[in-house]
Amino acid sequence: MNAKSHASPNGSPTALYQRIRGDLERKILSGDWPPGHRVPFEHELMQSYDCSRMTVNKVLSGLATAGLIERRRRAGSFVSRPRVQSAILQIPDLKAEVEKRGEHYGYRLLALEKRGASAADKARIGVALRAPVLALRCRHEAEGQPFALEDRLINLRAVPEAMQQDFSQTPPNTWLVGQVPWTEAEHRIAAEAADEATAAELRIEPGAACLTIERRTWRGGEPITAVRLIHPGHMYDLVARFTPSA
């Protein structure tokens, strides 16, 4: 028996694997199979679809790593309990984002300093006291209007190349993305009132609501960078979308 004999009956060229996966996903996501429902055993599925166990196994393990089902030996596979409420949060590259909307992107370096890490720096980025760090503060603009303040700390032990970079031209944001690989990241999102300095630099009223995003990244436990982005709350929305089934 050869693989071709399993092309779907209607002649569509979809792989059998995809077809089974789609069928099961639909049953689960439609609520047809509620959480806790037992998915057919592998040997039942191989009969239904007239295929080998490897094929249905691949489908079921895939669904398991995607979190749609849970599998227990001897017991079977079960539709997972209520989905965790999670979403993919896209942290945009500001320059690319602005230009994608056809607006003119502007950038201004406000301050740059190489220094030994202070106690505050240490708390923020997690390097040793007096370890070399690069601190910079800059402003992003769209059509001449400030829309984000970036306050960044870079661990120079992890990213020594940062010293060679001319940050008066390239935003650190844009440079670091794609330059330095990371393995872990943490984000913290909060709303705060703008203080005097921030308000002046963003050209908004002191006390106005701002959306702040703090982001820290590591590579194998070593801190890379910590950044704090302050957006005027009214002009910036973060949109996160989630659709199951990669």
Partner DNA sequence: TGATCTAATATGTATAGACAAATAATCGTC
Partner DNA sequence: GACGATTATTTGTCTATACATATTAGATCA
Residues that bind DNA (CB under 7 A): 1-4, 6, 13, 15-18, 39, 41-43, 50-55, 57-58, 60-61, 64, 71-77
What does 241 interact with, of DNA, a second copy, none (CB < 5 to 8 A by kind)?
Answer: a second copy
> CB of residue 113 vs a second copy: minimum separation in angstroms?
25
Give dist(CA 79, CA 227) in Å, integer. 40
51 binds, among a second copy, DNA, none (CB under 5 to 8 A by kind): DNA
Mark 36-75 with x for binding to a second copy (rule: CB under 8 A) and - for no binding: -----------------------------x----------
Of 6 and 228, the one with the shorter C-beta distance to DNA is 6
For residue 239, give both structure tokens: 């949109």
Interface residue with a second copy among 185, 197, 203, 206 (CB under 8 A) is: 185
Per CB under 8 A, 195 contacts a second copy: no
Cα(37)–Cα(151) distance, rounded to whole angstroms? 49
Q: Is residue 126 left, alpha or beta, with left meaning phi > 0 and alpha meaning psi from -120 to 50?
A: left
CB of 33 to DNA, least distance (A): 14
The tokens describing 218, both together, are 């590591």
Residue 2 or 85 with smaller CB distance to DNA:
2
Q: Residue 174 and residue 177: Cα distance in Å, rounded?
A: 5
Contacting range for a second copy; rule: CB under 8 A; set: 6-14, 113-121, 133-141, 182-190: 182-190
Question: Around Cβ 122, how many Cβ atoms within 10 Å?
Answer: 16
Instruction: Out of 27, 177, 199, 228, point to the residue binding a second copy (CB under 8 A).
Output: 177
Residue 66 near residue 243, CB atoms below 8 Å: no
Q: Which amino acid is at 41?
A: F
Closest CA to 184 of 156, 228, 133, 225: 225
Residues forming a β-bridge with 148: 140
Q: Is 11 in the site for a second copy (CB under 8 A)?
A: no
Structural tokens at position 180: 């330095």
Q: Is 167 in the site for a second copy (CB under 8 A)?
A: no
**Binds a second copy by CB under 8 A, chosen from 3, 89, 123, 129:** 89
Q: How far is CA 75 from the centre of its chain?
A: 35
Question: 55 phi and psi, to 5 degrees?
Answer: -65, -50
Contact set with a second copy (CB under 8 A): 28-31, 34-35, 65, 81-93, 177-193, 207-212, 219-220, 231, 233-234, 236-244, 246
